[in-house]
Amino acid sequence: MKMMIAASLMFAGASAYGNTVEPTPPTQSIAVPRAAPPPVFNPAPVSRATVPVTRVMVRVLLGRETLWAGPLSIGASTARILLNEPVSGTAACEQGPRMAAMRQVEIVINGQPYRSPPMAPYQLTARYTRPVESGGCNTGTRGVSIEQGFSLGGPNPIVAEGDGGFRVEITAP
């Protein structure tokens, strides 16, 4: 009888000594899609024009009022002036200084070293934002902007004109 029990245990996957035998699961093959090789690009050679650093005088005007004027060094990278200031002549805002009416003047000149000669080597972005007249608190804004390419050269200043008398003058030495 003991022999029969031991034989039946061995046949079932266990030994008479208490060791167990784990059955091996059947092997499964999983199909994995192969990725296509990356495309091969032969980029066209890009020539980088040399854009020297040049100091220019910039004037930002709204009608006859000068909003900002000063020197700015421009070249292959970005030159930026950002001016935030409270609007004069308005009453104090009852909601606190964070809500006070402010005006903003922004000048950005990007050098464009990768542009071909027929295109302008500089890009001007100029913005003027003023608050809506509402008693000293900022309840909204109005603004004008200019985006224009330009080249330095010649004795005359570069003049970019926008709406409402907004104008930027750039004079090279």
pLDDT per position as a tens digit, 143-163: 999 999 998 887 889 999 999
User: Strand, coil or helix: what is 5?
Assistant: helix
pLDDT value for 127 = 97
pLDDT of residue 43: 67
pLDDT on residue 166: 97
Length of the chain: 173
Predicted local distance difference test score (pLDDT) of residue 19: 63
Per-state percent for the chain, helix, strand, coil, to nearest 5: 10, 40, 50
Asked if 84 contacts 127 with a C-beta cutoff of 8 angstroms, the reply is no
Say how far apart CA 159 and CA 144 lie, in whole Å: 16
Look up residue 37 and give its two tokens. Answer: 């090789």
Please give the pLDDT value at position 89: 59
Q: What counts of helices (H) and strands (E) characterise the chain? A: 1, 8
Q: What is the mean pLDDT of each run of 10 residues along the chain (173 residues)?
A: 49 54 72 76 62 90 96 90 80 62 90 73 93 70 92 88 96 86
